[in-house]
């Protein structure tokens, strides 16, 4: 709405919300149009001057960066020269290795020949041992036979001894008989005596022979023992010979392998030598390229300095233009400028006006326009200077230094200092605040310890002086600067926060809030330049937005559904502009519940197949969306590689039929907001219920108020809930971490896959964009396979504004920057 008034203090508050009357429009066109032009001219000149100054900051950063590149290029050149020298030395060493492997090869061949001769000698030795073993066994057999014969001789000697004893007895008897015979028996007595002597000598001889035989037996036993030992030694020698042969065989095999390896080494070294020559050639080329880079860096440095000089001149011209323009405008007499007021709509009321607690899109739309941080996100989604005019990272690639603008002010008029940055960031991380957004700063050293209450301050946040602050990270993180540009990291005035007032430093001041609207008033001391429009009235009655626009009660509005498009189609000559948004709508499963619908992966996939996403896009959104194959939007990561879950009731029924026993009579509990049945979420819910009914799934509804919808207590009452996520930064890590890292409050489903968490942490440090995207593609595929959601669609937004209102632009994050809107007439 275009609202005008002569005196702000005397304006009837209700009049600010009324459409302009025709008579007022006529007066504006005839009397105050020049006043409007003067106002716009003044704002534009001021903003041009501010933007030139910001460009100067960027040029200074570029000069500093170019100088660093020059230094690093020089270091790189020196390093390349060292590499060339080292490679040359290594090439010579490779040639020596080649020669050594040739000598090793010859020695190996000689060793193999000697080993073969040794193996043959061992064969001969084993053969001789076998013959010795046979001879010893034969000798042992002969000695055993001798032992047996000696035993027989002993037996015979025993008989001889017995005969001698009997003969001696007979001789005694003969002597007795001869004595009885007298003279007649004397001769017989002599014979008897001789027989006795002979018997005694025989007995003595037998005794001697027996002793000798015993000695022979003892010798035989010793001989057999020695032969047994010889046999053992022969067997031992034979075994040693066999083992020696195995050793020689192993030596032969090893030498053979060594020879083969030597040949492979020769081939490898030969190829390596060729490669080294190529590397030397490449490094020499790198050296030449490095010299060219040095020249280009020097040229870039000169050009950057020229740019800086030109910007300084342009800045002076801008200041002169501002001075002349001011004088010129002062010479033009016009009526007092009326207050410029525009009216717009949000689909629903913000959940919070505290930037550190808000998590919804509606809150973001307001807070991006009320607050500012060290860095800002532009209407194109890129980083721009904010409170920090410049920044750089130190050599450790961890410590970021931010230089604050002098004179940048809070809405209360106080200058912003480095102390405010430290206070605000520590407030965001404060355990007592329990911010769901604390993860935005968790990469800062000591942030986690402070957030857990085990540290008194955040170690990595240092105040260097009044206008400089350093933030040290625990490890390199490519998305860190984008995080600092979010409204979550907006800088707040400590003295007012402690009184319950969230004083910011953005282009607009939050003047008042009501149940159905809020009012934003321009902050004329905004460091980015005063906004063109004095006041923005934001109404929270989304269903009434198009009707209000058609009835001239609204000046610009965003469009996100079919009904709005159909209503606007009745009005001729309307130019609706469309923008794809980095966001996603989904139906999330409550993975913490015990419901079979949430616990079983196959059933979750079946429900994905059962929902007709195209129907939702066509019949509810009017085509303002693209079917989701996974969580990330295609303008962030190309999703052509994903197969997704195309609508297929037949496949869904087949899976559910297999799971029929598990499902039984279970009903799916869906969480729904207590709101108008004209809202998008309500319509999507009904469409999902109808599709699930078609495949045999009955649903029940759990109703809660919109402000409590995403509370854990509410989600835990259900099996399925509807939500959306609009990217904060456009960074892939920022998009996935909130929803799939279990340590984050915004992981509403309770999804917890350690592999996904580990991969997300790894991806933060990857600098190479191609490798980073590839890792996120793998991540997304794993999440799709786990199916924690029914993936619905990625949204598009349309917007339309009244004639004479320009500068309404939707960023890829779905945000409209009110400060850029201009009323032309």
3-state secondary structure 524-586: CCCCCCCCCCCEEEEECCHHHHHHHHHCCCCCEEEECCHHHHHHHCCCCCCCCEEEECCEEEE
- Write down the domain spans for the chain: 26-328, 375-497, 578-739+790-801
**Distance separating the N- and C-terminal Cα atoms of the chain:** 12
CA distances from 490 to 250, 359, 523, 749 (A): 76, 14, 16, 28
Give start and end residues of each alpha helix (H) in 377-526.
Answer: 418-429, 447-451, 480-484, 494-497
Note whether 57 and 528 are within 8 A (CB).
no
- pLDDT band for position 791 (50/70/90)? very high
What is the band of 730 on the pLDDT scale with cuts at 50, 70, 90?
confident
Strands 805-806 and 468-472: unpaired
Distance CA 516, CA 541 (A): 7
Instruction: Give the model's pLDDT for residue 698.
Output: 94
Question: Mean pLDDT, the chain, as a whole number?
Answer: 80
- C-alpha 244/C-alpha 706 separation (Å) is 89
Across-strand partners of 726? 583
pLDDT tens string 478-526: 788 989 999 999 999 999 998 989 999 999 999 999 999 999 999 999 9
What is the DSSP code string of 620-632?
ISTT-EEE-SSSS
The 8-class DSSP code of residue 672 comes to E
Q: What is the pLDDT of residue 18?
A: 36
Q: Is the pLDDT of residue 768 over 50?
A: yes
Contact call for residues 642 and 630 (beta carbons, < 8 A): yes
pLDDT for 232 beyond 70: no
Look at 167-176, 258-267, 332-341, 459-468 and tell me which has the smallest mean pLDDT.
258-267
Q: What is residue 443's DSSP assignment?
A: T
Check: CB of residue 744 under 8 Å from CB of residue 439: yes
Are the CB atoms for 371 and 355 separated by under 8 Å?
yes
The rounded percent of the chain whose pLDDT value lies above 90 is 42
Instruction: Please give the Cα distance from 110 to 99 (Å, whole number).
Output: 17
Q: Does residue 446 carry a pLDDT above 60?
A: yes
pLDDT (average), residues 647-672: 93
Residue 5: pLDDT above 80?
no
Is the CATH number of domain 578-739+790-801 3.10.105.10? yes
pLDDT surpassing 50 at residue 316: yes
Rounded to an integer, the average pLDDT of 783-812 is 93
Alpha-carbon distance of 434 to 352, in angstroms, equals: 14
- Size of the chain, expressed as the number of residues it contains: 825
- Assign 470 to helix, strand or coil: strand
pLDDT for 649 equals 94
More confident of the two residues 14 and 237 = 237
3-state DSSP call for residue 388? strand
Please give the backbone phi and psi of residue 544, each rounded to the nearest 5 degrees, phi first.
-95, 0
What average pLDDT does the segment 81-100 reach? 62
DSSP for 353-379, please give it: S-TTT--SHHHHHHHHHH---SEEE-T
The pLDDT assigned to 571 comes to 85
pLDDT-derived band of residue 599, with 50, 70 and 90 as boundaries?
very high
Q: What digits encode the pLDDT tens for the residues 354-413?
A: 999 998 889 999 999 999 999 998 877 788 899 999 898 888 889 999 999 999 999 999
Ranges 102-106, 322-326, 748-752, most confident: 748-752
pTM over 0.75: no
Q: What is the pLDDT of residues 190-220, one digit of tens each?
A: 776 777 777 777 777 767 777 777 777 777 7
- In this prediction, residue 17 has a pLDDT band, given cuts at 50, 70 and 90, of very low
- Of 13 and 162, which is predicted with more confidence? 162
Residue 230 pLDDT > 80: no
CA distance 316 to 56: 12
Rounded Cα distance between 208 and 205, Å, is 5
Q: What digits encode the pLDDT tens for the residues 672-711? A: 999 888 888 999 999 999 999 999 999 999 999 988 898 9
Residue 570: pLDDT band (50, 70, 90) is: confident
Give the C-alpha separation, 240 to 234, whole Å.
10
Confidence (pLDDT) at 412 = 96
Per DSSP, the three-state class of 475 is coil
By C-alpha distance, which of 628, 609, 629, 599 is closest to 719?
A: 599
Say what the pLDDT of residue 447 is.
96
Q: What is the pLDDT of residue 16?
A: 34
> Which range has the worst mean pLDDT, 143-157, 390-404, 581-595?
143-157
Most confident of 218-232, 460-474, 673-687: 460-474
pLDDT band for position 728 (50/70/90)?
Answer: confident
Q: Which of 324 and 274 is assigned the larger pLDDT? A: 274
| Spatial distance between the Cα atoms of 676 and 768, rounded to a whole number of angstroms | 47
In which region does residue 573 sit, left (phi positive, over 0), alpha (psi from -120 to 50) or beta (all else)? left
Burial 319-349 (b: 16+ CB within 10 A, else e): eeeeeebeeeeeeeeeeebbbbbbbbbbbbb
pLDDT of residue 625: 93
Compute φ and ψ for 469, nearest 5 degrees: -140, 145
Q: Report the 3 state secondary structure along 280-294.
A: HHHHHHHHHHHHHHH
**Could you tell me how far CA 787 lies from the centroid of its own chain?**
19
Q: Which residue has the higher pLDDT, 231 or 479?
A: 479
Torsion of CA 565, 625, 343, 709, to 10 degrees: 120
Architecture of domain 26-328: Orthogonal Bundle (1.10)
pLDDT of 236: 65
- The predicted model gives 570-580 an average pLDDT of 85
CATH topology of domain 375-497: Dipeptide-binding Protein; domain 1 (3.90.76)
Question: What's the rounded Cα separation, in Å, for the pair 227 and 326?
Answer: 130
Output the CA–CA distances (angstroms, integers) from residue 791 to 611, 614, 644, 722, 780, in the order listed: 9, 12, 9, 10, 12
Predicted pLDDT of residue 364: 93
Six-digit token string for 800 = 């339309």
Q: How far apart are CA 709 and CA 381, in angstroms?
A: 29
Quote the distance between the C-alpha of residue 596 and its chain's center: 30
Are 788 and 742 in contact by the 8 Å Cβ rule? The answer is: no
- In sequence order, the 6+-apart residues with CB closer than 8 A to the CB of 81 are 287
Task: Round the CA-based radius of gyration of the chain to a whole number and report it.
Answer: 52
User: Which two structure tokens, joined as six digits, stand for 148?
Assistant: 């047996």
pLDDT for 121 equals 63
Three-state DSSP class for residue 661 = helix
DSSP character string of 719-777: SEEEEEEE-SSS-HHHHHHHHH-TTSTT-TT----HHHHHHHHHHHT---HHHHHHHHH
pLDDT digits (tens, 9 = 90+) for 275-288: 666 666 666 666 66
């Amino acid at each position: 709405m275009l609202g005008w008034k002569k005196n702000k203090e005397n304006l009837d508050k209700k009049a600010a919300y009324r459409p302009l009357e025709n008579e007022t429009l006529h007066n504006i066109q005839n009397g105050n149009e020049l006043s409007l032009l003067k106002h716009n001219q003044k704002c534009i000149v001021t903003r041009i001057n501010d933007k030139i100054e910001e460009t100067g900051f960027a040029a200074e950063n570029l000069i500093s960066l170019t100088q660093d590149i020059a230094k690093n290029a020089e270091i790189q050149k020196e390093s390349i020269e060292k590499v060339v020298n080292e490679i040359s030395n290594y090439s010579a060493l490779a040639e020596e290795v080649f020669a050594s492997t040739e000598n090793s090869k010859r020695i190996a061949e000689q060793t193999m020949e000697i080993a073969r001769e040794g193996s043959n000698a061992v064969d001969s030795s084993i053969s001789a041992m076998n013959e010795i073993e046979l001879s010893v066994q034969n000798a042992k057999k002969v000695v055993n036979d001798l032992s047996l014969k000696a035993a027989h001789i002993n037996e015979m000697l025993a008989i001889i001894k017995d005969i001698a004893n009997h003969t001696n007895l007979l001789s005694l008897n003969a002597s007795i008989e001869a004595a009885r015979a007298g003279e007649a028996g004397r001769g017989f007595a002599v014979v008897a005596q001789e027989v006795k002597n002979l018997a005694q000598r025989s007995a003595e001889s037998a005794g001697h022979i027996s002793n000798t035989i015993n000695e022979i037996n003892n010798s035989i036993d010793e001989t057999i023992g020695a032969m047994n030992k010889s046999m053992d030694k022969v067997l031992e020698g034979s075994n040693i010979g066999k083992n020696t042969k195995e050793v020689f065989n192993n030596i032969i095999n090893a030498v053979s392998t060594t020879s083969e390896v030597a040949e492979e080494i020769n081939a490898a070294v030969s190829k390596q030598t060729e490669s080294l020559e190529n590397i030397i050639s490449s490094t020499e080329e790198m050296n030449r390229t490095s010299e060219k880079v040095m020249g280009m860096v020097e040229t870039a440095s000169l050009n950057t300095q020229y740019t800086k000089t030109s910007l300084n001149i342009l800045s002076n011209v801008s200041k002169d233009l501002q001075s002349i323009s001011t004088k010129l405008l002062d010479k033009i007499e016009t009526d007092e400028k009326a207050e410029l007021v525009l009216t717009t709509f949000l689909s629903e009321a913000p959940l919070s006006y505290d930037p550190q607690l808000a998590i919804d899109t509606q809150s973001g739309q307001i807070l991006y326009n009320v607050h500012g941080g060290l860095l800002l996100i532009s209407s194109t989604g890129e980083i721009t200077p904010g409170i920090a005019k410049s920044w750089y990272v130190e050599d450790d690639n961890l410590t970021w230094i931010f230089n604050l603008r002098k004179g940048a002010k809070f809405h209360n008029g106080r200058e912003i200092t480095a102390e405010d940055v430290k206070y605000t960031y520590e407030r965001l991380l404060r355990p007592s605040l329990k911010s769901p957004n604390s993860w935005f700063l968790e990469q800062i050293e000591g942030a986690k310890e402070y957030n857990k209450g085990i540290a008194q301050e955040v170690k990595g946040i240092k105040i260097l002086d009044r206008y400089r602050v350093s933030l040290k990270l625990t490890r390199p993180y490519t998305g860190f600067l984008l995080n600092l540009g979010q409204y979550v990291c907006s800088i707040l005035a400590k003295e007012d926060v402690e009184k319950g007032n969230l004083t910011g430093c953005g282009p607009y001041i939050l003047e008042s809030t009501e149940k159905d609207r809020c009012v934003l008033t321009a902050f004329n001391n905004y460091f980015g330049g005063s906004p063109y429009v004095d006041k923005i009235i934001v109404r929270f009655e989304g269903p009434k937005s198009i009707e209000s626009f058609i009835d001239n009660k609204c000046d610009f509005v965003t469009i996100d559904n079919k009904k709005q498009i159909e209503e606007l189609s009745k009005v001729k000559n309307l130019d609706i502009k469309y923008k794809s948004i980095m966001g996603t709508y989904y139906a999330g499963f409550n993975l913490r519940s015990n419901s079979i619908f949430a616990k079983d992966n196959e059933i979750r996939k079946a429900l994905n197949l059962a929902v007709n996403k195209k129907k939702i896009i066509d019949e509810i959104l009017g085509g303002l969306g693209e079917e989701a194959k996974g969580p990330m939007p295609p303008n962030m990561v190309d999703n052509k590689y994903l197969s997704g879950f195309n609508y297929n009731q037949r496949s869904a029924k087949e899976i559910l039929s297999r799971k029929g026993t598990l499902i039984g009579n279970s009903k799916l509990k869906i969480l729904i907001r207590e709101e108008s049945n004209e809202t998008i979420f309500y319509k999507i819910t009904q469409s999902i219920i109808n599709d699930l009914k078609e495949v045999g799934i009955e649903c029940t509804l759990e109703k809660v108020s919109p402000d409590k919808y995403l509370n854990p207590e509410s989600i835990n009452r259900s099996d399925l809930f509807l939500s959306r996520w609009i990217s904060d930064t456009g960074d892939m890590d920022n998009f996935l971490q909130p929803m799939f890292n279990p340590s984050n409050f915004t992981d509403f489903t309770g999804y917890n896959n350690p592999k996904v968490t580990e991969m997300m942490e790894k991806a933060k440090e990857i600098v190479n964009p191609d490798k980073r995207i590839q890792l996120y593609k793998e991540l997304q595929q794993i999440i799709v396979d786990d199916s924690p959601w029914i993936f619905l669609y990625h949204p598009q937004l349309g917007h339309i504004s009244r004639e004479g209102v320009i500068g309404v632009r939707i960023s890829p994050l779905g945000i409209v920057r009110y400060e850029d809107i201009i009323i032309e007439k």
